[in-house]
Structure 1
Amino acid sequence: MRIYPFRALRYNTQKVQLEDVVTQPYDKISPAMQEAYYEKSPFNLIRVILGKRFPADTETENVYSRAAKTLQDWRKEAVLVEEREPALFGYAQRYTVPGTNEVRERRGLICLGHLYDYAEQVVYRHEQTLAKPKSDRLSLFKATRTYCEQIYMLYSDPSFTVESLVFGNRTGEPTIPADETVTDEYGVVHSVWKVTDPHVLNLLVGALSDKKLIIADGHHRYETSTAYARERAAELGVADSTRQHEHSEKQVGEADESPSNDADMKAGPQLPVPPFPEAAMMMTLVNTDAPGITILPTHRIVYGLKDFSSQAFLDKAAEFFDVSKVEAKAVAAGSDAEGVESAAERLAPLNGTEGVAFLAVMADGTWLLKAKKAAVEGALQHVPPRQRVMDVVQLHALVLEQLLELTPESIRQQENLRYLRSAEDAAAQVARGEADIAFLIKPVTLDQMKEVSLGGEVMPQKSTDFYPKLLSGLAFYALD
């Protein structure tokens, strides 16, 4: 994998408080969160990554054109300022694992990463993508020509090279003080270290040059960016990745279209830059051999089914699953829960069950479905062997597609399916009559994800939910 230091745009903390302007990633922002971000500051990043849409919008005046103008204005007003020299950024997130008291720290490196087609076997995906987010992100990128958010990438390095160079140690409390720290609305503490020493930068570039990457979060953005890079390469006469690599040996100080990649000429080691601005995007790389990675489940909510019957569904499911009703736990009167089970209580029967299992929440109760191995094996002969034993794959390939007869295309288009992290919210949608059935599932493990991805396979959409999310607005990569 080829990475590049870059002259990032960053918020000017002499003009804004970082807490007031950064956000969660665009796809994790609810309408209520969007409104709260708007109220926090006129310079909050929400105006760029997920602006408001209005009935009077036209082809030329719309959410994307407003985002582009907003960025231009912020740069003119020095709300966003460009770093004077190329840098890579250490990034640490200290957080409490949801539903527990365990505190973890996840470390990463913010950089520009070269864009590779999947066929080149340098960058691997682990799940399928949805159709709707792709066109939206591409339209925003073409209007702003700026990366305001990083995508989250995984690599393996048992020697902990990045951690030692950037944070001063392999694990534990960093020995080098952070340059910036901000706490988000979930209590996650985000810290950033700026690395500008050319010698250290080249060591980091070299240490990661032989790594393969797995996309953890950001499949849609990676795929749209790669397609756009391919278009731009054709315009420039760079026909394939091999020629891109020949061009990518260009060093800092040579002509380049992007101010984020240019630098003042100075003595010292030369640093690589992309062959052209669109050939790279902003990423955070995280070492899978280091502690701190947490994967949460993403639950499925099925709605809008014609003539849905819970009993008919359970009768069909009994061929492949041992079905047992789960009795709701009584909640003491006057408790904070007010008669509603907590997530831990609701998920306890599932988490206490070995092997593949789901909870099916319907209007007349909750049932535990535990897979019958032989029956499931026979029904999933069309599924790669390593995926047949995975909860989320059995849920999609057997329950959603065969028992509920949802087509893969309707699932991809989210016609009858919603995704939620919160088990309580998923169950509440059923209780309110907004869904026919909610499936609560266990999380995919890191080893499962790596095995599937590096094996060239993909899991269903939204199979993983990496926690916490990367904060948006810590750095920007401007192509112009």
Structure 2
Amino acid sequence: MTTPGHARDGLRLSPFRGLRYVPERVGSLAAVTSPPYDVVVRPDGLRHLETADPHNIVRLILPQSDSPAARHRQAADTLHRWLAEGVLRADPEPALYVYEQRDNAGLLQRGLIGTLRLSPPEDGVVLPHEDVMPDIVEDRAALMRETAAHLEPLLLSYRGNGDVDGAAAVIERTVRQDPLLATTTEDGFSHRLWSVTDPAELAEIDRGLARHQALIADGHHRWATYLRLREERTVPGPWDSGLVLLVDTARYPLRVRAIHRLLHKLPVQDAVAALGDAFRVRTVAGPLPQALDELAAASDADGNAFLLAGGTGFHLVDRPDPELLDATVPTGRPQAWRTLDATVLHSVLLERIWRIPDGPEHIGYIHDASAAVEQAERHGGTAVLMHPVQEDVVRELAQQGVTMPRKSTSFGPKPATGLVLRSLELG
């Protein structure tokens, strides 16, 4: 995607002095990394990460204490202690970082980590595609204020020209060198990181990116937090940019997965009973992968479809009543938005039929389907499993300035948290 006007209206990615773990001070680099904060499944995943290594990054991104203020203060104290003890150390000079992820199935992703100049939404340089939850933005903002740090990059995608020039050329040359670090995490992904400090190569990247705009693939709440914190400042400074991983999806396509819902206080038998004739409901056989195949087939054939779980078996919910959709789904939006599964879920099922308040005590968002089912079964709730939306639909709506319902998509692979951090105190 390109932007009209002067080249400087596009993406501006700047080098920074990354904070990185000192390998000799930790058990292993893999043991101190974490998925992004909103992917960690709590409480089990949180405990697992906390016990993997006493310096695991989860102690900064998801600190545990009695109150929000205490949690944020604890994260700041931990960060400052690790810096003082030499667990984390700033690189000697500003750099952009080439980041590579690879799995055993042949997936390869490469991109650039840097600080991106923040631009107002109306400029169209960075395109959001999902709504955000104010309470999460407030929590992330308080954490960033207290730590004066960007602890994990958000994921942005752009469409390059398909040619090896500009940023792509620099990336391809850089990965032929020895990396700064290499590790393999327990999910099977290998991670490598290089730094780019040469002024000529930095200028080459800048020229190539300046023609493009980017889609927020993952990290809408962190992007909204960046913008809020910048507005609080009255003079230019480091808060005018945010830490990002920028991936050219013309060269390295992202995967799009669904984000599932966990309805904490609605037993699955009550959820099914409340549907009445509004949807077709069928019991489908397990195990979970087979049930998800049934969900995919129904989504492809009949449009909106959901898989409910939490008790015994799975319930496939599809073919909503067209009259109910017309009466319930908000108008004044593109048809592509009105027919999204997430739109129908929130407008019809959650608000109209189940009447579930939109708050974290009632609705959880979980990326892993098996984790959502397990928690629903353990606590007597309902897991609502979703089928992923196509990336082209996401881009089309974003270019029209239309945001999707919150937590509609999960782009990946997501960058591992903990490989490189940014201190706002260093600029």
Measured against the shorter chain, the TM-score band is 0.7 to 0.9
Distance (Å, rounded) in 2 between the aligned partners of 1:71 and 1:364: 45
Counterpart in 2 of 1:40? 52
Which of 233, 242, 245 lines up with 1:281 in the alignment? Answer: 242
Task: Indicate if the aligned counterparts of 2:13 and 2:206 stay in contact, CA closer than 8 A.
Answer: yes
Counterpart in 2 of 1:163? 168
Q: Cα deviations across residues 343-396 of structure 1 (Å, max 9, x unaligned)? A: 311212112232332223464753333335854663435143221232222222
Could you list the structure 1 runs, at least 4 aligned residues long, displaced by more than 6 angstroms after superposition: none
> Given the alignment of the two structures, is residue 53 of structure 1 paired with residue 10 of structure 2, yes or no?
no
SS in 1 for 2:232: helix
Q: CA separation of 1:168/1:157 partners in 2, compared to 1, >3 Å: closer, same or farther?
A: same
Task: Indicate if the aligned counterparts of 1:325 and 1:365 stay in contact, CA closer than 8 A.
Answer: no
Q: CA separation of 1:73/1:423 partners in 2, compared to 1, >3 Å: closer, same or farther?
A: closer
Task: Indicate if the aligned counterparts of 1:22 and 1:44 stay in contact, CA closer than 8 A.
Answer: yes
Q: Cα deviations across residues 100-143 of structure 1 (Å, max 9, x unaligned)? A: xx431111110000112212222121111123322221111111
Counterpart in 2 of 1:64? 72
Which of 383, 387, 396 lines up with 2:346 in the alignment? Answer: 396
Task: Indicate if the aligned counterparts of 2:111 and 2:171 stay in contact, CA closer than 8 A.
Answer: no
Counterpart in 2 of 1:80? 88
Task: Indicate if the aligned counterparts of 1:89 and 1:111 stay in contact, CA closer than 8 A.
Answer: yes
Q: CA deviation at 1:145?
A: 0.5
Task: Indicate if the aligned counterparts of 1:152 and 1:470 stay in contact, CA closer than 8 A.
Answer: yes
Task: Indicate if the aligned counterparts of 2:267 and 2:310 stay in contact, CA closer than 8 A.
Answer: no
Map 1:374-393 → 2, pairs under 5 A:
374-375=322-323, 378-379=326-327, 380=329, 382=331, 383-393=333-343
Q: CA deviation at 1:420?
A: 2.2
TM-score by length of 2: 0.86
User: Higher Cα Rg: structure 1 or 2?
Assistant: 1
Distance (Å, rounded) in 2 between the aligned partners of 1:80 and 1:432: 38
Map 1:116-265 → 2, pairs under 5 A:
116-160=119-163, 161=165, 162-168=167-173, 175-232=176-233, 234=234, 236=235
SS in 2 for 1:20: helix
Counterpart amino acid of residue 421 in structure 2: F
Counterpart amino acid of residue 93 in structure 1: Q
Distance (Å, rounded) in 1 between the aligned partners of 2:272 and 2:227: 46
Counterpart in 2 of 1:259? none
Structure 1 unmatched ranges of 5 or more: 97-101, 237-274, 330-340
Q: CA deviation at 1:82?
A: 1.9
Give RMSD over aligned pairs: 2.6
Deviates more, 1:396-405 or 1:134-143: 396-405
Counterpart in 2 of 1:317? 278
SS in 2 for 1:352: helix
Distance (Å, rounded) in 2 between the aligned partners of 1:381 and 1:304: 26
Counterpart in 1 of 2:265? 304
SS in 2 for 1:103: coil
Distance (Å, rounded) in 2 between the aligned partners of 1:95 and 1:286: 17
1 or 2, which has the higher helix percentage? 2
Percent of aligned pairs sharing the same letter: 30
Q: Cα deviations across residues 164-187 of structure 1 (Å, max 9, x unaligned)? A: 211239xxxx54443321111211
Task: Indicate if the aligned counterparts of 2:39 and 2:366 stay in contact, CA closer than 8 A.
Answer: no
TM-score by length of 1: 0.77
SS in 2 for 1:470: coil
Counterpart in 2 of 1:24? 35
Matched residue pairs, number?
406
Q: CA deviation at 1:310?
A: 4.8
Distance (Å, rounded) in 1 between the aligned partners of 2:325 and 2:310: 26
Which of 253, 263, 283 lines up with 1:326 in the alignment? Answer: 283
Distance (Å, rounded) in 2 between the aligned partners of 1:124 and 1:362: 36
Distance (Å, rounded) in 1 between the aligned partners of 2:375 and 2:53: 32
Q: CA deviation at 1:303?
A: 3.8
Structure 2 unmatched ranges of 5 or more: 1-10
SS in 2 for 1:27: coil
Which of 108, 112, 118 lines up with 2:111 in the alignment? Answer: 108
Which of 348, 365, 379 lines up with 1:419 in the alignment? Answer: 365
Counterpart amino acid of residue 398 in structure 1: V
Distance (Å, rounded) in 2 between the aligned partners of 1:373 and 1:447: 27
Which of 290, 297, 306 lines up with 1:358 in the alignment? Answer: 306
Distance (Å, rounded) in 2 between the aligned partners of 1:34 and 1:70: 17
Distance (Å, rounded) in 2 between the aligned partners of 1:157 and 1:178: 24
